[in-house]
A and B are shown apart, each in its own frame.
Chain A
């Protein structure tokens, strides 16, 4: 599974999960803070890519999704797309998406099979809340010329939603790994009695 060259199964997983991120973005958004800041299931899709596909394929699926947005498919939540979204002050979040998937996947896949919900939850919180928002805040400081305080305040509006999505990621990943075993690498066999 860690061969340097991706197999056709890896390519298929990356392509289909890029579609998953897109479709979760189609679920109607909630706008608790006005039109500018939709809270959507799209970043849930990003976190799930990491938790289910692992670091390489998970980040790959997110990068593919962003590439499809860049070439003009209106797949970003709210029907946004095109190269213009990469010039927006929210660029940090777009850059942070593949990093978040990588971090979450790294945590879950390092722990290996069987999936443990605590590992999944910690990985999702670190990758999907801390890392994603840190990069998002840096992006706002850069593009929107905000101070770190102002950018953090803006980001804080979303953090409760991010935490909920991280919890959902951990729970959903447990269901998926139980129903579809074999994705996670087998943990190194500890010398247990019945081995």
Chain B
């Protein structure tokens, strides 16, 4: 349904075939384990392991790098800061751990379909049923949210065209107010459609 705008890269590797829930659990476990990393060589070993994982999933370096770029812009100054204020070893550990977790999380993202992750989320929130969270509704909400992105883009384009036609130019308010009112009206129609399908029963 939503694969077209996601970051998923189709493939048949072991990592692609592993269940989404297992991959998410591994990610959480890695986050906990990262607190125990103390030495630069440990960071190096983890990064080598991650490189093997990317190779196994046949992710091109360019794809991995593009996803990593925004984080690198944060990590480089952070590494310099820590190397000056503390020691280079500490800088390697702090920055290396963040880098490793980001790489691992991106690897899960690249090898797992959004719809599989939605199913995993629905499964994970099942215990919240007791506090009034309906897991099926969470899944429905995620699909509705994905669908609403192109709808709102279209709405925004219409508002902008109308603004141009009236000769208004670059006021944020003149753009945002009609966009939000349009979104509220659209939500009313969507809510009616959901109610008509028996969602409130």
Contacts and interface: CB of A to CB of B under 8 A. Distances in A.
Interface size class of A (residues with CB under 8 A): 35 or more
A13 B187 contact: yes
A72 B117 contact: yes
A2 interface: no
Contact of B31 (A73, A80, A87): A87
B60 interface: no
Interface string A101-139: 000000000000000000000000000000000000000
A87 to B, nearest CB: 4
B94 A5 contact: no
Interface string B110-128: 1010100110010000000
Interface string B134-164: 0001001110111111011100100000000
Nearest to A144: B78
B187 A9 contact: yes
A150 interface: yes
A160 interface: no
A155 interface: no
Contacts of A88: 71, 74, 98, 102
Most buried by B among A7, A16, A171: A16
A39 interface: no
Interface of B: 2, 5-8, 27, 31, 67-68, 70-71, 73-74, 77-78, 81-82, 90, 94, 98, 101-106, 108-110, 112, 114, 117-118, 121, 132, 137, 140-142, 144-149, 151-153, 156, 172-173, 176-177, 179-181, 183-188, 190-192, 194-195, 199-200
Given A16-B187, A17-B183, 5 more contacts: A6-B137, A11-B199, A15-B141, A16-B151, A85-B102
Nearest 9 interchain pairs by C-beta: A82-B109, A9-B191, A19-B148, A36-B73, A83-B105, A8-B194, A15-B144, A87-B101, A12-B191
